[in-house]
A and B are shown apart, each in its own frame.
Chain A
Amino acid sequence: MDWFDSWALSLVVFIPIVGTAVVLAIPKAKELLIKQVALLTTLLSMAVGVIILFRFDYDHADKLQFPVNKSWIDVISSRYHMGLDGISLPLLILTLFVTVLCVVYSWDHFPEPHNPKAFLALLLVLETGMLGTFLAEDLILFFIFFELVLLPMYFMIGVWGGPNREYASIKFFLFTLFGSALMLLSFLALFFKSDPHTFDIVQLSQLHGAGLAHGTQLVIFGGLFLGFAIKVPMFPFHTWLPDAHTEAPTVGSVILAAVLLKLGTYGFIRIALPVLPEAARSWAPYIGLLSVIGIIYGALGCLAQRDMKRLIAFSSVAHMGFVMLGISTLTSFGINAAIFGMVAHGLITGMLFFLAGSVQERYHTRELSRLGGLLLQAPKMGWILGFCAMASLGLPGLAGFWGEFPAVLSSYQPAEGLNVALFRGFMVTAAIGTVLAAGYLLWMLQRVAMGKIPAEWEDAHIHDVHVPEWIAWAPMLILILGLGVFPGAIFHVTDDAVQHVSRMFGGEG
């Protein structure tokens, strides 16, 4: 299996691109074939992922495994360097998994203007970009994958989106591009300031920013911060998100919530923190502050929404606030919680977007004031909505809790050198945020699922959960419960690698 170990990551990343090429070669009329090829491609990639899962050495999860390191663009000594450790693995699997389910869900659900060929081709390109980002160990490679994600998502929103899609897609594109530009600038600075010049993330992490003046570090970190924070998105750079989510087709929203937002938080853990630990320490209080503002502010924004999908979109701002709060403590508890939170948010909010999409498909509206009585008309869907709302508000026993609670816990005792009183203030604020989260989610549940059937829908035939929906949702629901009961499934994978990061900040690990 040696050949597998050296090819595994390349395979998993590029199978989707090959799939894209095949899909593009098939005539547009053969829709079924196109769908089958797309599904097969994602399943193949997933299969490679599963083998990786079995061959991964969990006792050395802090080491980069399945490494590939080949010369690539020699002129700028950028190398084709990829690897997988305990931090990347959960996100890799999440991405593979969610993409398969998205293809399944799309089966009979292609939004206007239909065109499965283009849609699936874009989805596969998107998958390559997302997977590559989680595996790249070279800044230029990382940047290319990071940017590769932009275009397909831009088209997904811009072509298959809702009424305001043009504005939303351009806003999404430019906003993230703006962040990427500054991020690239910081990458270049890191390159030129390192000795020897390198884009290699592993080498840069070993340097810890040695030889860089503190001021320079702060500025470079600032560029990284903007690039990642916009992607997360953190307050006050979040305004592209509700628009993008609201206008995007269901599958687009799911991918956006489940994976795309994690590129930013992953960037912090993989690049910003290890490469510039000193600057991270100086920036941490500000990141923490923006995180808790995001938690409260996102929740308040949710409370003001009248559109179900937009409400869920806004909730991402609050949830990602918990993830970023965990990261900003620079402790192992916080970073472990952050990674768990990323996966949990991906599953839970992804599910909520699926549900919003299915509700809209049935009622042709997402206006909370017009909906009601889902539990009576489509009881299974109503219960699933209730389950996901509970998971999203952080009910213990479901996945959301393990992203939220340890993040709050970690801010009781942030890393050495951080202001303890300040972070305890963050802790209290974040805890208040959990109550607000219960507020907006349960009010939504009450409006949509409970109550009598509104007169408008009394005679409407509302179909309960369809077969493709079951196939797409059941695995996510099982995982939401499974990870809630067995959080070790993720913490065991991440912990060693996270300890490795937190040691830079005085973590005892």
Chain B
Amino acid sequence: MAEKAWLIPLLPALSFFVILFFGKKMPKGGSESGIIAVGTSFVLAVIVAAQWIKDERIVDQHLTWWSNGKAHITIGQHVDGLTAMMFLVVTFVSLMVHIYSTGYMHGDVRFTYFFAALSLFTAAMLFMVMADNLLQLMIGWELVGLCSFMLIGHWFEEKNNSSAALKAFFTTKFGDIGLMLGTITLFFAAGQTFHIETINKLALEHGALSHGLVLTAAVLLFLGVMGKSAQVPLHIWLPDAMAGPTPVSALIHAATMVVAGVYLVARVYGVFWSGFSIGNGGLNWMAFIAGLTMVLTAALAFVQDDIKRVLAYSTVSQLGYMVAALSVGAWTAGVFHLFTHAFFKALLFLGSGSVIHAVHSNNMSEMGGLKKYMPQTYWTFVIGTLALAGIFPLAGFWSKDEILLGATKNGYPYIFVLGLVGAFMTACYMGRAVILTFHGEYRGHGHPHESPRSMTVPLLLLAVPSVLIGLINAPGVLKFAHWVRFEVPGVEFEPPEHKFAVPLAAFSFAVAVAGLAVAYWVFYLKTAPNKGAFARSPLRTVKHVLVEKYYLDWLFVTVVVGFIKGPLARAAYWVNQNVIDGVVNAVGVGAKLVGRFTYDVIDQKGVDGIVNGIGVSASETGGVLRLVQSGRVQQYALMLFAAVGLLAAALILFT
């Protein structure tokens, strides 16, 4: 089956075309096509994973796509534990989101279109995951970006939504400069190939490539990671991306697309490991950015009223954890966190969608007390919250603990400290969100009610792995680390692995509990939205800075983009119209004068039988075609050709 893994992305791709051409005529508006295709892909993904566990045989195949001389540009599939895991995550979450969307998007004006985009997204994401070479990965990467653009802008009637879509596209595209140039650098470094296995091998072999080259490639690729996986300061697009329908936020902007950057790092780990000298400990560029991301964006989650934005900042912060894990050499931990996070964060987003569906608002100030109206949503949301906060024995506990463990053992104490601070904040802001949404009195309008089964069933199905999935890497089991591992055939390299340490785990658990306790104390006992701890404390300035999102949006959107789009573009155009075109027009006027002079001279002296003859016949042709210019063009033409003749003669005579 692993050899046929290409079927997994192919099915949703076919579904996209089916929905595109026939969706509107189908009884369920095309959603059935998507569900069948993704469902089948999920089954295939399970088979691939089972086979991998049984045989542990890496499949690495490709076909030549096109050639340039001896360089072959290929398209292929690489199936190993990481691929199998990603297949599972993407197809499972996508299937849940498909089912959920039949309820959530019911009656939407562009229901069919929505499902077409979902299918296309799933196909592109799987195509990317399957890639055996960087170019293919890059292609999938940009295609998921397209789908993200389409789905964020799903309700494009509102300018805010379309602007959010554009912002997402531009920001990630900016990062993609790095991805593109890094890919090109590695292509030439590896002897004109994009093949990832070869690149990893060369990067890890001592002395095969110069360190400067590998570092350059790593820094460039990491720029792409910062854009796609929303690392500070390129995270600014992700909270705005919440303008899209909530199922999209769950699938694309929490569970799958945004982890593409993390996946890239994990996949091309040889380059990052050698480039950033991760094995040496200390400070590296990737750890620095990831550390900032974990904490800075978690802080922003505290001042949000929009429940989706709380989750969005949480996602950014958690992406920081994943990148941080990889940056400290804890490969398994980073990938494991990607895996567990996909389930509980998708659960949380779909839960928030269920709430939004019920109260018709995103703002927690218009929620409250929903526990009794929507019990299933409430309990699943609480499970997601506890999993995210890292409460034993739920999924997030295990993966977060491994990251902290890796940071301290591999010589990255500051990541350890920032990780603990972030864990505390995570538990705290999630506690706040649960309290503001589900507890206290209902503050909104109308009568909220539990969502339909098409929406609650996916919540229940996601709650199960959110509770249990972490156990597959619990001490004594530790199967995940074995199944999903970084290995390059022919190279003796393994990222460091560490034994589960009870004291550390107990400590991080205590920190998470403390976070929840503080949330309970601040937000539950003094329940009052918008009058939380910040407003009444001397930290008012801090709050202001947080509300303004550290002024980063202002800096990028207003200052940088505003300058390019406004003054710079206008200046360039002014130069075009006045300077460059000024010269052109001046030459034109000059030529006209010279032409008239020449014509007069020729006319007067009468040396011009031939010339006049040509002139007359030309203007007759013109007359036939009703040319209004009365032979002026012909004059210029003659003049120019005369000049050419003279110059040619000069060249012949004098050289």
Contacts and interface: CB of A to CB of B under 8 A. Distances in A.
A154 interface: yes
Contact of A304 (B67, B572, B628): B572
Interface string B158-195: 01001100100110011011001100110110000000
Nearest to A184: B644
A158 B629 contact: yes
Nearest to B655: A216
Given A171-B588, A300-B568, A397-B143, A450 B156 contact: yes
Contacts of A175: 584
A173 B572 CA distance: 25
A428 B403 CA distance: 35
Given A181-B641, A409-B184, A495 B69 contact: yes
Given A154-B633, A436-B564, A174 B591 contact: yes
A181 B69 contact: no
Given A300-B572, A450-B156, A451-B162, A491 B629 contact: no
B127 to A, nearest CB: 9
Interface stretch (A47-55, A185-193, A358-366): A185-193
B138 A495 contact: no
Contact of A332 (B68, B173, B644): B68
Interface residues on A, range: 35 or more
A154 B184 CA distance: 43
A178 B640 contact: yes
A159 interface: yes
B13 to A, nearest CB: 11
A333 interface: yes
A178 B569 CA distance: 29
Contacts of A487: 65-66
A297 B177 contact: no
Given A158-B627, A442-B166, A492-B66, A395 B143 contact: yes
A239 B644 contact: no
A147 B177 CA distance: 40
B633 A170 contact: yes
A443 B69 contact: no
B139 interface: yes
A375 interface: yes
Given A178-B640, A409-B184, A435 B70 contact: no
B67 A495 contact: yes
Given A174-B588, A427-B184, A446 B162 contact: yes
Contacts of B156: 375, 449-451
Interface string B557-597: 00001001100111011001000110010001001000000
A254 B209 CA distance: 48
Contacts of A189: 648, 651
A390 B641 contact: no
A192 B632 CA distance: 33
B584 A304 contact: no
Instruction: Pick the most buried of B626, B641, B651: most chain A CB atoms within 10 A of its CB.
Output: B651
Given A216-B655, A304-B569, A434 B173 contact: yes
A266 B576 CA distance: 26
A45 B188 CA distance: 43
Contacts of A436: 564
Nearest to A243: B581
Chain A interface helix/strand/loop/mixed: helix
Contacts of A184: 644, 648
Nearest to B640: A181
A396 interface: yes
B193 to A, nearest CB: 13
A239 B588 contact: no
A435 B561 CA distance: 11
Nearest to B621: A151
B643 interface: yes
Contacts of A173: 633, 636
A177 interface: yes
B180 A405 contact: yes
B438 to A, nearest CB: 36
Interface string A224-241: 000000000000100110
A491 B72 CA distance: 11
A439 interface: yes
A307 to B, nearest CB: 12
Interface string B135-152: 000110011001001000
Contacts of A302: 569
Given A175-B584, A304-B572, A181 B564 contact: no
Interface string A442-455: 11001001111000
Contacts of B146: 390, 395
B637 interface: yes
A452 B576 contact: no
Contact of B644 (A185, A406, A434): A185
Contacts of A432: 177
Interface string A163-199: 0001000110111011001101100110010000000
B177 A446 contact: no
B242 to A, nearest CB: 18
A488 interface: yes
A304 B68 contact: no
A446 B166 contact: yes
Interface in B604-627: 625-627
Given A409-B184, A495-B69, A507-B69, A442 B169 contact: yes
Interface in A85-121: 118
B573 A304 contact: yes
A435 B173 contact: yes
Nearest to A147: B637
A465 interface: no
A409 B580 contact: no
A303 to B, nearest CB: 4
Contacts of B569: 300-304
A189 B139 CA distance: 47
A488 B66 contact: yes
B470 interface: no
B157 A452 contact: yes
Contact of A395 (B68, B142, B181, B184): B142
Contact of A438 (B66, B173, B180): B173
Interface string A484-500: 00011001100100010
Nearest to A175: B584
Interface string A372-391: 01011000000000000010
B648 A408 contact: no
Contacts of B568: 300
Contact of B65 (A401, A442, A488): A488
A336 interface: yes
B177 A435 contact: yes
Given A177-B637, A405-B180, A376 B647 contact: no
Contacts of B66: 487-488, 491-492, 495
Contacts of B591: 174
B637 A155 contact: no
Contact of A428 (B159, B163, B181): B181
Contacts of B143: 395-397
Contacts of A332: 68-69
Given A155-B625, A409-B184, A450-B162, A300 B648 contact: no
Given A171-B584, A174-B633, A450-B156, 10 more contacts: A177-B636, A239-B576, A375-B156, A390-B146, A397-B139, A431-B180, A446-B163, A451-B156, A491-B67, A492-B66
What 3 A-B pairs have minimum CB-CB distances, sorted nearest first?
A303-B569, A304-B573, A300-B572
Interface of B: 65-71, 138-139, 142-143, 146, 149, 153, 156-157, 159, 162-163, 166, 169-170, 173-174, 176-177, 180-181, 184-185, 187-188, 561, 564-565, 568-570, 572-573, 576, 580-581, 584, 588, 591, 625-629, 632-633, 636-637, 640-641, 643-644, 647-648, 651-652, 655
16 contacts: A166-B628, A181-B643, A188-B648, A240-B584, A303-B564, A303-B565, A408-B180, A412-B185, A434-B176, A434-B177, A434-B180, A446-B163, A488-B67, A491-B68, A502-B69, A509-B69
